Structure 1
Amino acid sequence: MNMRSTRSTVTFANAFTLSGYSGELPAGDYEVLAEEELLQGLSFEAYRRAATYLMVRGNGRTEMRRTTDSDLKKALSRDQARTEMSNHSDAAHSPQEGLK
Structure 2
Amino acid sequence: MTMRSTQSTVTFSNAFTLPGYPGELPAGDYEVLVEEELLQGLSFEAYRRTATYLTVRGSGSHTGRTEFRAISDNDLKKALGRDAALSQTNNHSEAALSPQEVRT
TM-score over 0.5 (shorter chain)? yes
**Amino acid paired to 2:64:** G
**Amino acid paired to 1:43:** S
Moved over 2 A (4+): 90-93
CA deviations over 1:36-79 (Å, ceiling 9, x no partner): 01011100000011000000001211000000111000000000
- Alignment check: 8 A CA contact 2:15 2:26 kept: yes
Aligned to 1:88: 92
2:80 to 73, 76, 91: 76
Aligned to 1:98: none
Identity of aligned residues (%): 76
Return the TM-score normalized by structure 2: 0.86
- Alignment check: 8 A CA contact 2:90 2:96 kept: no
Return the TM-score normalized by structure 1: 0.90
Q: CA deviation at 1:90?
A: 3.7
- Alignment check: 8 A CA contact 2:91 2:97 kept: no
Cα distance change of structure 1 residues 92 and 4 upon mapping to structure 2, 3 Å threshold: closer
Could you tell me how far apart the structure 1 residues matched to 2:78 and 2:14 are? Answer: 14
| SS of residue paired to 2:92 | helix
Q: What count of residue pairs does the alignment treat as equivalent?
A: 95
RMSD: 1.4
Q: Is 1:16–2:16 an aligned residue pair?
A: yes
Provide structure 1 residue ranges, at least 5 long, that are not aligned to the other structure.
96-100
Q: CA deviation at 1:19?
A: 1.2
| SS of residue paired to 2:45 | coil
